[in-house]
């Protein structure tokens, strides 16, 4: 490990998770927390930033408990949070299929799927709570698919040999978000939640070492204001848009989490990014985002490429014996349902061999001909119809009549702000939930687990643990000078961006940064490539601060200004991602170092040296970050070479 890019700090530990039998730890923690009595809850204010599945469910639940909630989102409505784009389903260990599922199996599959780089205590809690989530959402009226007899239906997802994924056609995220939204808006109507749409968090207010509020900018009027509270919750999603092209919504960004990182919150495992195998391939330089086709399609769709390199015949003209169903061939036990990281690398490998399909050879087929013949077109349409329609609208190709073309793309980020078992960051009073934290997935997230974690954190975990902090840490008013100083720093940064008056657009810088990240810190990383990126990124960042042009002013709606602030944060994050990837000289999950693979080309972990969470401390612009290690202990799942064969 080359430490010229970073310094080493003291180890870090999660001190909140109880010891003892793993199936009793969450119950023990809930009993041990100090409670806030109902009359005192009305005196406590909690700020929540974000209104997706994690933020929306947290806001609704905390308000229902009696706390005063002040909530922000940069969208014009909480309904537009990116959670709405999640399509395929939500995992839960209900075992409705009687196929051998259990809480322990979901726990095991998740730890294994994350390549043994997650905490056992957190993952087991997630598996336990998964069952409550389904009951909660059914009670809210979420229209999950049902079998003929009326029971909730399930389908399979990658990394599991049981059917545990509950779904609402290809709209699961949308339906779950609407359930959380309705619960949240009920509390808004009751006066328990003060909702501020079209506001972006630009800094964290600190007082006496604690998180006490946020500085936000009204994206319509440009007004910069502060809000203070007893605690702050970030539910602001992931940072995949650092790559420019990703499956994330255009507005998804890292700014809220990154500004908290600058105030002392450690950032954990930033190099763990998920490449999703079923994305519509890039069609040209005009694109500003990519479209994901749900992993649920891998239930009935078969992935293949031609056996011979350079075979450009129409798929219907390629006979069966000249097709390579490579996932079924290489991984017979799981076939097309291997985890995302494995399916993505396998697609890259066959395309690198010259057997890819479509423009540029960067694509593989996802074929439903067999499913349509077996089940009938109507049955396939009932399960996936809206996804097929979306694909046809984007590509002009009818997937009922010819295979879809897919290729891996950046999707989810497993890294995020470090939190303990209570979901509290290293900044006291700052809690981080959903994709914004690092806690539950390790080095790779199994499909249909994002919705599970977001709702578990918001509905069930945070409402229990934040009360312990509020009960133990009574606070007074935040001094006016502290608020004024935080606002002044935000205003100074805005004015600096506006004053550069350069000759390059924000998007041009973002696109160039994304190309560097995809090339050198994407699906495959090498020491040489990462070192190259760590030369290119600081140089491009310096050019950004000299040449970026942000037209308009800060006194009204200015989307160029919004993007400029976010891209400035992406530059700093990108550098940390490459440092983290360079220091971790092993392959695990979504982090694949070309120098660390076995004879079959599979990821080769180094448990002796890297069985830890890498939590990074900010030391200042252009300064070396400091690495703090949280050792991972495995009592119930023995780390082993992952095999899906």
In CATH, what number is assigned to the domain containing residue 58? 3.50.50.60
Same domain, 382 and 518: no
Domain of residue 603 covers 500-609
Judged against a pLDDT cut of 80, whether residue 136 lies above it is answered with yes
Same domain, 454 and 602: no
Residue 600's pLDDT band, with cuts at 50, 70 and 90, is confident
For the chain, how many structural domains are there in total? 3
Do 449 and 596 belong together in one domain? no
Over 60: is that where the pLDDT of 1 sits?
no
CA–CA separation, 559 and 262 (whole Å): 24
Residue 490 domain-assigned (yes or no): no
77 in a structural domain:
yes
pLDDT tens across 311-363, in order? 999 999 999 999 999 999 999 999 999 999 999 999 999 999 999 999 889 99
Q: What proportion of the chain, given as a percentage, has pLDDT over 90? A: 92
Region 446-462: mean pLDDT is: 97
Instruction: Give the span between the Cα atoms of 376 and 370, in whole angstroms.
Output: 9
Cα gap 316→572, rounded to integer Å: 48
Please give the model's pTM, rounded to 2 decimal places. Answer: 0.97
Q: Does position 188 have pLDDT exceeding 70, yes or no?
A: yes
Question: Within this chain, do residues 455 and 559 fall inside the same structural domain, yes or no?
Answer: no
Q: Where are the beta strands (DSSP E) in 354-493?
A: 364-367, 404-413, 416-417, 430-432
Tell me, yes or no, whether 298 lies in a domain.
Answer: yes
Residues 6+ apart with CB under 8 A from 633: 120
Going by pLDDT thresholds of 50, 70 and 90, the confidence category of residue 2 is low
- Determine which one of 80, 340, 445, 566 is catalytic: 340
* CATH number of domain containing 312: 3.90.700.10
Pair 450, 527 in one domain? no
pLDDT of residue 641: 87
- Assess whether 284 and 264 both reside in one domain: no
pLDDT, mean over the chain:
96
Of the two residues 641 and 305, the one the predictor is more confident about is: 305
Which pLDDT does position 284 carry in this prediction? Answer: 79
pLDDT tier at 547, thresholds 50, 70, 90? very high
d(CA 268, CA 415): 6
Summarised one tens digit per residue, pLDDT across range 216-262 is: 999 999 999 999 999 999 999 999 999 999 999 999 999 999 999 99
Query: 306 and 241 share a domain?
Result: no
Average pLDDT on 557-584 reads 98
Residue 491 falls inside a structural domain: no
For the question of residue 340 being annotated catalytic, the response is: yes
Q: What is the pLDDT of residues 64-93, one digit of tens each?
A: 999 999 999 999 999 999 999 988 899 999
pLDDT tens for residues 28-63?
Answer: 999 999 999 999 999 999 999 999 999 999 999 999
Q: Which residue has the higher pLDDT, 567 or 382?
A: 567
Domain presence at residue 174: yes
Write out 470-486 in H/E/C secondary structure: HHHCCCCCCCHHHHHHH
- Say what the pLDDT of residue 275 is: 93
Whether 639 is in a domain gets the answer no
Residue 465 confidence class, pLDDT cut points 50, 70, 90? very high
Strands 364-367 and 302-306 come out as antiparallel
């Amino acid at each position: 490990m080359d430490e010229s890019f970073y310094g080493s700090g003291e180890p870090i530990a999660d001190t909140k998770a109880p010891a003892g039998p793993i199936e009793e730890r969450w119950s023990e923690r809930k009993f041990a927390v100090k409670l806030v009595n109902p009359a005192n809850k009305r005196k406590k204010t909690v700020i929540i930033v974000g209104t997706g599945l994690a933020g929306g469910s947290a806001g609704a639940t905390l308000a229902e408990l009696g706390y005063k909630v002040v909530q922000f989102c940069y969208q014009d409505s909480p309904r537009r949070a990116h959670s709405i784009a999640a399509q395929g389903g939500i995992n839960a260990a209900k075992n409705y299929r009687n196929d051998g599922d259990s809480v322990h199996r979901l726990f095991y599959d998740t730890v294994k799927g994350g390549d043994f780089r997650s905490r056992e205590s957190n993952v087991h809690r997630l598996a336990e709570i998964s069952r409550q989530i389904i009951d909660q959402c059914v009670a809210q009226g979420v229209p999950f698919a049902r079998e003929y007899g009326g029971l909730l239906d399930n389908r399979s997802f990658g990394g599991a040999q049981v059917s545990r994924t509950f779904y609402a056609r290809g709209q699961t995220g949308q339906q779950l978000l609407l359930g959380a939204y309705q619960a949240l808006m009920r509390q808004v109507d009751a006066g328990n939640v003060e909702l501020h749409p079209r506001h972006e968090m630009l800094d964290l207010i600190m007082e006496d070492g604690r998180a006490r509020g946020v500085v936000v900018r009204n994206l319509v009027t440009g007004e910069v204001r502060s809000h203070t509270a007893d605690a702050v919750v970030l539910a602001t999603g992931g940072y995949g848009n650092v790559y420019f092209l990703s499956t994330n919504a255009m507005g998804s960004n890292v700014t809220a989490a990154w500004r908290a990182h600058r105030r002392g919150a450690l950032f954990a495992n930033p190099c763990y990014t998920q490449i999703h195998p079923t994305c519509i391939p890039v069609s040209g330089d005009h694109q500003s985002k990519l479209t994901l086709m749900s992993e649920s399609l891998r239930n009935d769709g078969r992935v293949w490429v031609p056996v011979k390199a350079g075979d450009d015949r129409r798929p219907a003209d390629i006979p069966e014996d000249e097709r390579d169903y490579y996932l079924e061939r290489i991984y017979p036990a799981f076939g097309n349902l291997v985890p995302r990281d494995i399916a993505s690398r396998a697609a890259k490998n066959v395309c690198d061999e010259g057997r890819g399909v479509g423009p540029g050879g960067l694509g593989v087929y996802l074929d439903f001909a067999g499913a349509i013949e077996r089940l009938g077109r109507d049955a396939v349409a009932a399960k996936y119809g809206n996804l097929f329609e979306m694909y046809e609208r984007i590509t002009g190709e009818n997937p009922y009549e010819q295979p879809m073309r897919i290729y891996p793309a950046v999707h989810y980020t497993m890294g995020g702000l470090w939190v303990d078992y209570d979901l509290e960051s290293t900044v006291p009073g700052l809690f981080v939930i959903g994709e914004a934290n690092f806690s539950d997935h390790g080095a790779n997230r199994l499909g249909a687990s994002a919705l599970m974690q977001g709702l578990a954190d918001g509905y069930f975990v945070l409402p229990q643990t934040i009360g312990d902090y509020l009960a133990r840490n009574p606070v007074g008013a935040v001094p006016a000078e502290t608020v004024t100083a935080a606002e002044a720093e935000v205003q100074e940064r805005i004015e600096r961006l506006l004053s550069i008056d350069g000759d390059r657009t924000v998007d041009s810088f973002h696109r160039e940064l994304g190309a560097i990240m995809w090339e050198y810190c994407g699906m495959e990383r090498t020491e040489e490539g990462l070192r190259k990126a760590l030369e290119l990124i600081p140089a491009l960042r310096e050019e950004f601060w000299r040449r970026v042009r942000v037209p308009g002013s800060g006194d009204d709606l200015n989307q160029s200004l919004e993007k400029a602030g976010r891209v400035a944060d992406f530059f700093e994050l990108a550098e940390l991602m490459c440092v983290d990837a360079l220091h971790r000289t092993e392959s695990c999950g979504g982090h694949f170092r070309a120098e660390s693979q076995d004879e079959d080309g599979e990821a080769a972990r180094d448990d002796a040296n890297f069985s830890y969470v890498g939590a990074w401390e900010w030391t200042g612009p252009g300064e070396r970050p400091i690495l703090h290690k949280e050792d991972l202990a495995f009592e119930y799942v023995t780390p082993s070479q992952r095999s899906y064969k």
